[in-house]
């Protein structure tokens, strides 16, 4: 199972937000797509998830072309972002159950997944409350449970810890590393360099719509003779100044 981006390109008016980006995410791997705000990370992820049509290039999920075979490709994918909405009047249990049924889970498997996710994400005590009463961190964890309910082989996570406190971030990190251990292909976007350095097996550094470099965190630091991933990135975009 792999997630593949092939020469993805997207422009908005005169601005080329994504410019020929290619990379691959393998089974049992966390691939971090890093860069500052406006680098093109979210646009890239949305094209891979089938939420935005590329001007050129294509995205594949387990060999399924996202544009040509969208339903089959999306069934193999979880997509979660900090802006993912929840139904305010429903409880987390009702939200997760609703999406589980949309993915065709039978009631026994659905109940099992709800209990598993509630325990892993530490939201057991929230499951009977209305989503409209939840904090930002609580909503983020419920949103992640919603995305993962069908236990897909590929995960795309766009800034999953943005705005979260240390405790909530830890729950998310545990879910991500646990998914890797179970052989999932995980594409993670973040601008938190320290977080990526801890979690990711390989990293793609994006700037102004282009993929500047990719490799393991250690290899990228060694190449730029940097002590941290943040320093390596800054050296890349400034020419080592």
The residue ranking higher by pLDDT, 241 or 183, is 183
* pLDDT tens by residue, 57-106: 999 999 999 999 999 998 999 999 866 779 999 999 999 999 999 999 99
Which residue ranges make up each domain of the chain?
A: 1-76+152-241, 81-151
Report d(CA 194, CA 44) in Å as an integer: 22
Query: pTM for this one?
Result: 0.91
Q: What strands lie across the sheet with 154-158, from one edge to the other?
A: 77-81, 154-158, 185-190, 29-34, 202-207, 210-215
Percent of the chain's residues with pLDDT above 70: 97
pLDDT per position as a tens digit, 166-207: 887 888 888 899 999 999 999 999 878 888 888 999 999 999
Residue-wise pLDDT tens digits, 198-236: 899 999 999 999 999 999 999 999 999 999 998 998 998
Q: Beta 3-12 vs 56-61: how paired, if at all?
A: antiparallel
Please give the CATH architecture assigned to the domain spanning 1-76+152-241: 3-Layer(aba) Sandwich (3.40)
């Amino acid at each position: 199972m792999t997630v593949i981006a092939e020469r993805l390109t997207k422009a908005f008016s005169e601005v080329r937000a994504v410019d020929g980006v290619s990379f691959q995410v393998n089974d049992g791997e966390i691939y971090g797509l890093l860069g500052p705000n406006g680098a093109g990370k979210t646009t890239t992820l949305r094209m891979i998830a089938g939420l935005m049509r590329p001007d050129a290039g294509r995205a594949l999920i387990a060999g399924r072309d996202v544009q040509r075979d969208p339903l089959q490709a999306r069934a193999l994918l979880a997509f979660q972002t900090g802006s993912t909405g929840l139904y305010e009047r429903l409880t987390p249990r009702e939200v997760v159950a609703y999406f589980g049924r949309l993915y065709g889970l039978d009631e026994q498997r659905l109940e099992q997944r709800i209990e598993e996710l509630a325990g892993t994400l530490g939201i057991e005590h929230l499951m009977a409350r209305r989503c409209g009463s939840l904090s930002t961190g609580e909503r983020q964890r419920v949103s992640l449970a919603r995305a993962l309910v069908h236990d897909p082989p590929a995960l795309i996570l766009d800034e999953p810890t943005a705005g979260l406190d240390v405790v909530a971030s830890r729950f998310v990190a545990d879910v991500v590393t646990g998914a890797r251990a179970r052989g999932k292909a995980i594409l993670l976007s973040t601008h938190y360099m320290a977080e990526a350095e801890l979690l990711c097996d390989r990293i793609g550094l994006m700037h102004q719509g282009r993929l500047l470099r990719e490799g393991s965190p250690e290899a990228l630091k060694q190449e730029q003779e940097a002590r941290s991933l943040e320093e390596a990135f800054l050296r890349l975009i400034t020419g080592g100044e």
